[in-house]
Amino acid sequence: MRTTVGIVGAGPAGLLLARLLRLAGIDCVVLECRDRAHVERRQRAGVLEQGTADVLRAAGAGERLDREGLRHDGIELRFGRRRHRIDFPGLTGGRSVTVYAQTEVCKDLIALALADGCPPLFHSEVLAVEDVDTPAPRVRFRRGGREEVLECDWVAGCDGFHGVTRGAVPAGVSRVHGRTYPYAWLGILADVPPSHDELVYARHDRGFALLSMRSPSVSRLYLQVPEGTKPEAWTDGEIWAELSRRLETDDDWALRRGPVTQKSVTPMRSYVHEPMRYGRLLLAGDAAHIVPPTGAKGLNLAVGDVVVLARALEHELRTGSTELLDAYSATCLRRVWQAERFCHDMTALLHRAPGATAFDDRLQLARLERVATSRAAATDLAEAYTGFPLG
């Protein structure tokens, strides 16, 4: 099998890259080890930056996004039982975010691929990425019990943190930066309308809480819990009681409760792999970087990567120059590190670390007061939350 760009992974990064390449007239093949149903139900991110939503619309994947996505013009910070709203359009010149689940993004992009007659090759387990330091890289994969080879000019590693493509970068070339946080998020999906029309980020002495949503009838909520917590360690009643406690305010706001349909624990970590390019292998999305979910940046960073990558590959096709491909890693990493900084800052701002002292608590509250009372501090948060420039 032969193509121009071999894409490993049919998450949002791989699917969007394939769509952008096809629009540019560049052949590609997407390999995905799981089946279509798994990809379309894999719960992940749900907040799209302004730039991400604009890219999806330009790629022809905006119809359902515009019909079903929930535009949010701000978030609410809660601390000391008080509420403070961050007005995104007023602080950023009109930018907003959209709540639209990653599962829905994947469904839309898969539907476009099927309409194009170029569906991802599901059930295709990538075994190795070879010869990426030559002009003729190869991807060995197993499909239907038979081993096959995909020959290509470039390989895009969009196969996530646990994928195989990053392993093709020699250890002597790789530079890894990371941090594991001493807490995690216990998350639930619940069949109940959201208790607020925008996301609520709450700092509490008992730990962080987040009120989010997936649709007008489905709520997504999170609690800070100790690292290593198992979902079954908490009953539904205990979760609702703790959410009510941490989200409580001095006014008449109340948390709505409903049936819990899904429960999971998300570890918190930061990770960056440098460089994002080695030879003819280009890493994108979680294959190259992970951020704690507090800043809602994971999916959006992946979109930024593939926009830069698609532009660079199209430039090489049109001009024969690899100038943009040569700059790919440095271009993406500027945005990646800004997102890492923002997500780390948001995490430190809102989570109570094990062993935190009264001094630590007062500093945290002072930082939140600064955001609540300073337009400059609120603007910095709003600009980062709604998205750094793509590329």
Q: Each residue of 51-88: pLDDT tens digit?
A: 999 999 999 999 999 999 999 999 999 999 999 999 99
Buried b (16+ CB within 10 A) or exposed e, 38-56: ebbeeebbbbbbbbbbebb
186: CATH: 3.30.9.10
pLDDT at 233 over 90: yes
Return d(Cα 245, Cα 205) in angstroms, integer. Answer: 10
**273 is known as an active-site residue:** no
Overall average pLDDT of the 315-340 stretch: 97
Whether the CB-CB separation of 4 and 27 falls below 8 Å is answered with yes
The residue count for the chain: 391
Q: Is 215 helix (H, G, I), strand (E, B) or coil?
A: strand
Q: What is the pLDDT of residue 42?
A: 79
From residue 346, how far is each of 180, 202, 224, 349 by CA, in Å?
Answer: 15, 11, 13, 5
**385 is known as an active-site residue:** yes
Tell me the residue type at 106. C
- Indicate whether 342 belongs to any domain: yes
Q: What is the pLDDT of residue 389?
A: 87
pLDDT at 37 over 80: yes
305 burial level (CB within 10 Å; 0-12, 13-18, 19+): buried
From residue 253, how far is each of 44, 232, 250 by CA, in Å?
Answer: 28, 29, 8
Query: Sign of the CA dihedral 210, 213, 219, 225?
Result: negative
- pLDDT tens digits for range 179-197: 999 999 999 999 999 999 9
Return d(Cα 294, Cα 346) in angstroms, integer. Answer: 6
pLDDT at 379 over 80: yes
44 against 34, higher pLDDT: 34
- Indicate whether 79 belongs to any domain: no
Do both 261 and 274 map to the same domain?
no
Do both 273 and 262 map to the same domain?
no
Do both 155 and 40 map to the same domain?
yes
- Indicate whether 36 belongs to any domain: yes
119: CATH: 3.50.50.60
Do both 222 and 342 map to the same domain?
no
Do both 174 and 210 map to the same domain?
no
Q: What is the pLDDT of residue 374?
A: 98
pLDDT at 252 over 90: yes
- pLDDT tens digits for range 110-123: 999 999 999 999 99
- pLDDT tens digits for range 266-280: 999 999 999 999 999
Instruction: Tell me which of 44-48, 274-278, 373-377 is least confident.
Output: 44-48
- Indicate whether 80 belongs to any domain: no
* Containing structural domain, residue 363: 182-268+353-386
**100 is known as an active-site residue:** no
Return d(Cα 15, Cα 112) in angstroms, integer. Answer: 10
The verdict on whether omega for the bond into residue 275 sits within 30 degrees of 0, i.e. cis, is: yes
Do both 252 and 374 map to the same domain?
yes
Overall average pLDDT of the 142-150 stretch: 96
Do both 163 and 210 map to the same domain?
no
364: left (phi over 0), alpha (psi -120 to 50) or beta: alpha
51: its two tokens: 């730039």
Whether the CB-CB separation of 382 and 372 falls below 8 Å is answered with no
Confidence of residue 293 (pLDDT cuts 50, 70, 90): very high
Return d(Cα 123, Cα 207) in angstroms, integer. Answer: 41
- Indicate whether 88 belongs to any domain: no
- C-alpha torsion 187→98→268→239, nearest 10: -20
How many structural domains does the chain have? 2
Do both 198 and 173 map to the same domain?
no
Q: What is the pLDDT of residue 347?
A: 98
Confidence of residue 237 (pLDDT cuts 50, 70, 90): very high
Confidence of residue 2 (pLDDT cuts 50, 70, 90): very high
**297 is known as an active-site residue:** yes
Proportion of the chain above pLDDT 70, given as a percent? 100
Q: What DSSP state is assigned to residue 121?
A: B
**72 is known as an active-site residue:** yes
Contacts of 19 (CB under 8 A, 6+ apart): 59, 60, 61, 109, 112, 113
- Indicate whether 106 belongs to any domain: yes
Do both 129 and 233 map to the same domain?
no
Out of 72, 107, 196, 351, pick the active-site residue.
72
- C-alpha torsion 218→223→229→233, nearest 10: -60
Q: What is the pLDDT of residue 46?
A: 86
Do both 104 and 250 map to the same domain?
no
Proportion of the chain above pLDDT 90, given as a percent? 97
pTM of the complete model: 0.95
Out of 181, 183, 201, 328, pick the active-site residue.
201
The stretches of the chain forming alpha helices (DSSP H) are 12-23, 36-41, 50-58, 63-68, 88-92, 102-116, 236-247, 298-319, 323-326, 328-350, 358-373, 375-386
Whether the CB-CB separation of 320 and 313 falls below 8 Å is answered with no
Overall average pLDDT of the 16-31 stretch: 98
Strand partners of residue 77:
84, 201
- Indicate whether 330 belongs to any domain: yes
Do both 201 and 310 map to the same domain?
no
Out of 194, 204, 293, 351, pick the active-site residue.
293
- pLDDT tens digits for range 201-212: 999 999 999 999
Largest CA distance in the chain: 65
Confidence of residue 44 (pLDDT cuts 50, 70, 90): confident
pLDDT at 391 over 80: no
Out of 107, 196, 289, 297, pick the active-site residue.
297
Return d(Cα 348, Cα 351) in angstroms, integer. Answer: 6
Do both 164 and 188 map to the same domain?
no
Confidence of residue 154 (pLDDT cuts 50, 70, 90): very high
Q: What is the mean pLDDT of the chain?
A: 96
- Indicate whether 91 belongs to any domain: no
